[in-house]
Structure 1
Amino acid sequence: MSKITPDLGKVSRLPLPADDPGADDDLDSALLEAREYIKSYDWVRRIEGEYFGYGAEGIIYIFLFEISPGKPDVSRWIWVLVGDVPPAYMPGDDLETPYEALDGYIGAMDEWVEAARQGKSVAKLIPVNVPANPANAEMLSGRLKFLDEKILPLLQE
């Protein structure tokens, strides 16, 4: 499988210029959450670059990190999604744009939802920071449906 490089024309290098000081607070908080999330993995030696891909205030933020990998099989490009959803990373080797990162996130989380609904193991699925049970699956399912129907089409344009 060939590796691709994310399309840097679809993201903005951080920090962004401040044109609305109040709006920056949400973005700053989301960036801090994403940064701490990705740095929690032992395969990240350090962050080399940070890019903003998309943000829907209070709902979801998509960032692209260029990292110095601590293991040879780790991509140097990692998408991180945070917000009112479980935080997650998506390797950037196969995902070029914020749209592709969100679409991959929704697909991976849908697999988790289906397994949690059926009481199956989620051990080999995307990690989610809540117990895998039907109630949590239904809550996440509603958020994923919103992302799929309302946010994903905005990124496709």
Structure 2
Amino acid sequence: MNPPVDTSFFQLAGVPNPEEDSQLAELEEEARDYVRTRPWSKPIREMMLAYGLGRILALFLVRFEEPIRWEGEEDAELWIVVGDLPPAYFGTDDSPNPAEALETYCVFMEDWADRILEGRHLEDAYPIAAAPTEEHARMLKSRIEFIRQEIIPTIEVGPANDNGRAIR
């Protein structure tokens, strides 16, 4: 099991805008529902907003009461992405901060979109609950480009960790 993600630089509370705070609260409920409907789900100990942008995107770190065990590994926390894009969950092992978590999300989504646009099979791609059409793939690629160009560069991730990972 990985060490817990450092949450000291998370957005956590909303933004000084009541409308956007309301939108982020809706996305938090969507993320909770998403987690609860997964077959592996465990009781949630806490869910923290790592990054949010109105109805567009929210990244949450979910910590569970007990670790989730699968394929010889266990995770006590996962990243959850929701918003105006396909929801997803994934571990924190390769993405210990919000910026790297959003890049991991982009990699998973881009792989799905590229497979569709190239006419390849989706059997090993991250499962997305959307029709595998060229239109959906192009829409997703547009959102990925926005996340990479406009969101990830703005996220503060804090001091370097023990692994010497770069900080923004």
Fold shared, TM-score > 0.5 on shorter chain: yes
- Amino acid of the residue matched to residue 3 of structure 1? N
The corresponding residue for 1:71 is: 69
Does 20-29 or 59-68 show the bigger shift? 20-29
1:2-151 equivalence runs, <5 A: 3-11=2-10, 16=13, 20-67=17-64, 68-71=66-69, 73-151=73-151
TM-score under structure 1 length normalisation = 0.87
Structure 1 pair 153–70 and aligned structure 2 pair: CA distance change class (3 A): closer
In the TM superposition, residue 101 of structure 1 has moved relative to its aligned partner by: 0.6
TM-score under structure 2 length normalisation = 0.82
Q: CA RMSD in A?
A: 2.1
In the TM superposition, residue 75 of structure 1 has moved relative to its aligned partner by: 0.9
Q: Deviations over 1:57-106 (max 9, x none)?
A: 12111100001345353411111011111111121223211101101000
Count of residues paired in the alignment: 154
- Amino acid of the residue matched to residue 71 of structure 1? R
Tell me if the contact between 2:14 and 2:20 (Cα under 8 Å) persists in the aligned partners.
Answer: no
Structure 1 pair 93–4 and aligned structure 2 pair: CA distance change class (3 A): farther
Q: Distance in 2 between matches of 1:39 and 1:12?
A: 23
Q: Distance in 1 between matches of 2:18 and 2:146?
A: 28
Structure 1 stretches (4+) deviating beyond 2 angstroms?
2-5, 10-13, 16-24, 68-74
Q: Which structure 2 residue ranges, 5 or more long, are not aligned?
A: 157-167
In the TM superposition, residue 29 of structure 1 has moved relative to its aligned partner by: 0.3
- If each structure's helix is expressed as a fraction of its own residues, which one has the higher value? 1
In the TM superposition, residue 18 of structure 1 has moved relative to its aligned partner by: 8.7
In the TM superposition, residue 125 of structure 1 has moved relative to its aligned partner by: 1.4
Does 123-132 or 82-91 show the bigger shift? 123-132
Q: Deviations over 1:89-127 (max 9, x none)?
A: 121223211101101000111111110112222122112
